[in-house]
Chains A and B, each alone.
Chain A
Amino acid sequence: MPKISKKSAVKFNVISHLAVIAGLAVLPFIIENPYYLGITNLILIYTILCMGLNLILGYTGLLSLGHAAFYGLGGYATAILMTRYGFSFLPALIISGLLALIFGMLLGVPTRKVRGDYFCLLTIAFGEIFRLVAQAWIPFTGGAMGIVGIPIPRIFSWTIRSETDFYYLGLILVVFTYLSLVLLTASRFGRAFVAIREDELAASVMGINTPAYKILAFSIGSFYAGLAGSYLAVYQTTITPSSFRLDESCLMIIMVIVGGMGSLLAPISGVIIMTLATEAFRSLADYRMLIIGVIMVTVLLFRPQGLFGTAAFKD
C-alpha cells in the first residue's frame, strides 16, 4: 500500500474543506426563494449554537440547559449596544460573544463543587433568571415587548440587508466557529475535555486541572452562543425574551443528541433535521414538540450515539 505522506493528507483536507465552503457559497443562487433561504439562515444560527453546545455537552460531558440564556445575552447585548449606544455591528458582535464568555465563566465556577444533575439544575435556574430579568427590567431590556428597531448591520462597506447577505454573514460565522473548534479540539485542551467526559477521576490523576478545563469548555461554548444571539438580533431587527425560553435550550440539546455528540460536524445533521421538522410542522402548533420528541426517540433507539456521533449520551 502506498504511504500517504502527512503533507498530502493535509493538502487533501484543505481542498475538501475549500470545496465544501465553495459549494455553500453558491447555495443562495440555487435557493432563490427567500422563505427557504430564511430557513437556511435559521439552520446556520442553530449550527453555531449547537457546535458551541457540543463542546460543552459532547466533548466535556457537562449537561447545560441554559444555552439559550447565553444566546439571549448576546442578542440583548447587540440590541442594546446598537440601538442605545450607537455601536456598529462588528464591535457589538465581539462584545456579545465576550459577554457570554464571561457569564459562562461565572456559571462554570460552581462546577468545582456542583456536579452532574445538580449542575444541570443550576443551568436551568440561570436560564430562567436571565429570561425573567429580561422580562422585568423594562427600562433596560424593554420587558416582554423587547427591543425593536435594531439598525441594519454594516461591516466596513458591506451593508447586510437581504436574506442572501445574512446567509453570507451566517456562513462566515459558521466557518469561524468550525475552524476555531477544529484547532481547539485538536490541541491538548481537546484531549483534556474528552478525558474529563470519559472519566473525571482518571483525568485528575493524569494531571489535568479538571475544574479549570470544565470552566474553559463551558465559557468557550457559551461564547459561540453569544455570537449567534448577536446575529439573531440584527437578523430579526427585534429581540424579545420569548426567543430564549427553556424550550429553546432543550431543542438545542435534542439537535446535538440526534446529530451526534463528540464529533464537530455531527450535530449539523441534527440541526438540519430538527429545523426542517419544526418548519414543516409549524401548522400543527403545540403538537409539533410531540413530533420532535418522536423523531428523537426513534433516532436514539436505533443509534444511541446519534446519527454521526462518536460519544453516546452519558451512561
Chain B
Amino acid sequence: MLKVEGIHTQYGRIKVLSDVSFEINPGEIVALIGTNGAGKSTFLKTISGLVRPTLGRITFMDQEIQGVAPEKIVLAGIAHVPEGRHVFARQTVLTNLQIGAFIRKDVDEIQKDIERYFKIFPILGERRNQLAGTLSGGEQQMLAIARGLMARPKLLLLDEPSMGLAPFLVNEIFRIIGQLHDQGIAIVLVEQNVKKALKITRRAYVMELGKILYHGDSKELIADDRVRKSYLGET
C-alpha cells in the first residue's frame, strides 16, 4: 500500500533521515519505535508532505507521492495525526471535526461520520459544543484522532498518541487504535510506549539516528536483547 524506498530528508544542512525504507500493507498496523530525536516524526512528516525528501521514492497505492503538497496527500488517502495533538483550540469539538472533513463535500455523509465518532468517542459527543482547548489531554488526543479520521483515510499516521497521558487513558487510546485496525484502516504507529506498541502490532521498525536499525516481527523484537535494553529499560 505504502512503500518508502531509500528516502533522505534534511533540514537545511542537518541530515535527519538517511536511506530509510519502509513498507505497510492494506489494513496492516505497523509500529515505528526509537528514542527521542531518532527522526520518527520527520519520517511521518515526509510521508504526509510537510517535509520534502531530498532523495528517494514514496509510493502510495501505485502513485508516487514524494514531495507532493500535503493537501494532495490527504486527498490521496493518508491522514496524519501530528505529535502534540494540534487541535484547533478556540473552535468547538464539532467544528474541529468539520474542519477534519475539509476535503470532502458529501455533507450528509460527513454528518453521519461525526455521529459515528461521537459513538466511538462518547466523551467527544458530550462535549461537542465545548472549545477544544478546554478539553483534557486525553480528550484532545481522541479529538485529534477523530479529526484525522474525518478525511476517511486509507492510511492513518499516528504520532505519539499516548504521549503525556495518564496510564488508564493510554490503555483507552490503545484500545481505540485496536478498534480502528479492526475496521480495516492501515495504521503507522509511532510510539515511545514501546511495550504497548509492540503488543498491538505484528511488525515493527526500529529507528535510530535517522536510520532504520532493524525491522521484523514485533514478538521477536520484544524478546530481542537490544530492544529490551534500549527501549524497555530492562537489564
Residues of chain A having any CB pair with chain B under 8 Å: 188, 191-192, 194-195, 198-199, 201-209, 310-312
Contact = CB atoms under 8 A, between A and B. Distances in A.
Contacts of B95: 191
Contact of B99 (A195, A201, A312): A195
Q: From DSSP, what is the main secondary structure of chain A's interface residues?
A: helix
A192 B91 CA distance: 12
A311 B50 contact: no
A201 B50 contact: yes
B102 A201 contact: no
A209 B99 CA distance: 13
Interface string B72-98: 001100011110001111110001001
Closest 10 A-B residue pairs measured CB to CB? A207-B74, A207-B103, A202-B86, A198-B88, A205-B80, A204-B70, A209-B71, A207-B71, A206-B102, A195-B99
Interface residues on B, range: 20 to 34
B147 interface: yes
A194 B88 contact: yes
B210 interface: no
Nearest to A311: B90
A198 B79 contact: no
A202 B71 contact: no
B69 A209 contact: yes
B151 A207 contact: yes
Contacts of B87: 199, 202
A311 B70 CA distance: 26
Contact of A199 (B86, B98, B148): B86
B102 A207 contact: yes
A311 B88 CA distance: 12
A206 B147 contact: yes
A199 B69 contact: no
Contacts of A203: 99
Contacts of B86: 199, 201-202
Contacts of A205: 48, 50, 70, 74, 79-82, 148
Contact of A202 (B69, B75, B88, B98): B88
B161 interface: no
15 contacts: A191-B95, A195-B99, A198-B88, A198-B89, A201-B82, A202-B87, A204-B49, A204-B70, A205-B74, A205-B80, A206-B74, A206-B102, A207-B75, A209-B69, A312-B90
Contacts of A310: 90
Contact of A206 (B49, B89, B90, B100): B100
A201 B148 CA distance: 13
A194 to B, nearest CB: 7
Contacts of A195: 88, 99, 102
A248 B180 CA distance: 54
Contacts of B74: 205-207
A192 B99 CA distance: 8
A191 B88 CA distance: 11
Contacts of A206: 74, 99-100, 102-103, 147, 151
B96 to A, nearest CB: 9
Nearest to B151: A207
Contacts of A192: 102
Contacts of A188: 102
Contacts of B102: 188, 191-192, 195, 206-208
Given A204-B70, A205-B148, A206-B147, 5 more contacts: A198-B89, A198-B90, A206-B102, A206-B103, A209-B71
Contact of B98 (A191, A201, A204): A191
Most buried by B among A191, A199, A204, A206: A206
A202 B140 CA distance: 13
